[in-house]
Amino acid sequence: MREVKQGDVVKVHYTGKLTDGEQFDSSTGREPLEFTVGAGQMIKGFDAAMPGMKVGDKKTINIMPADAYGEKNEEAIIEFPKKNVPEDMKLEPGMQLQLRNESGQPFPVTIVEIKDDVIILDANHSLAGKELVFDIELVEIA
């Protein structure tokens, strides 16, 4: 039976959890996820788990932050002037907002704290700094 190798297009079902068991994503009830192994479409640790798998194989992998979404970057904690937010906008800690970078590309941020004149925003990926656990089932090698 054929084994997955770099460059193969594969389809997988997966469930992603944190080490405390909290689920953050799953393909359950959806079409399997399709990607090219080694093409950089997936986080490094997920990609690295694929070679050698055969259709029908299931495995559970732990991915450290360096091979997932990286460590939390303190430079991605931003002080944003409150005066730049529409007055009628209700802000709450934990709320997601979209900012734009210098070239106009949107990027998500999360409100960490609201002070008198600034809002503290976190532009880190929500899974940065976290060890991830994935249950993977190989459904197809295209």
The overall average pLDDT reported for the chain is 96
Q: Give the residue from 130, 115, 70, 80 showing the smallest Cα distance to 100.
A: 80
- Number of alpha helices (DSSP H) and beta strands (DSSP E) in the chain: 1, 9
Q: What pTM does this model have? A: 0.83
CATH topology of domain 74-122: Thrombin, subunit H (2.40.10)
Domain coordinates in residue numbering, the chain: 9-70+127-141, 74-122
Provide the pLDDT for residue 13: 98
Residue with tokens 């106009």: 104
CATH no. for 9-70+127-141: 3.10.50.40
CB 129 within 8 A of CB 65: yes
pLDDT of the residue at 110: 96
Average pLDDT over residues 17-24: 97
Q: Residues with Cβ < 8 Å from 94, sequence gap 6 or more?
A: 110, 111
**How high is the pLDDT of residue 1?**
87
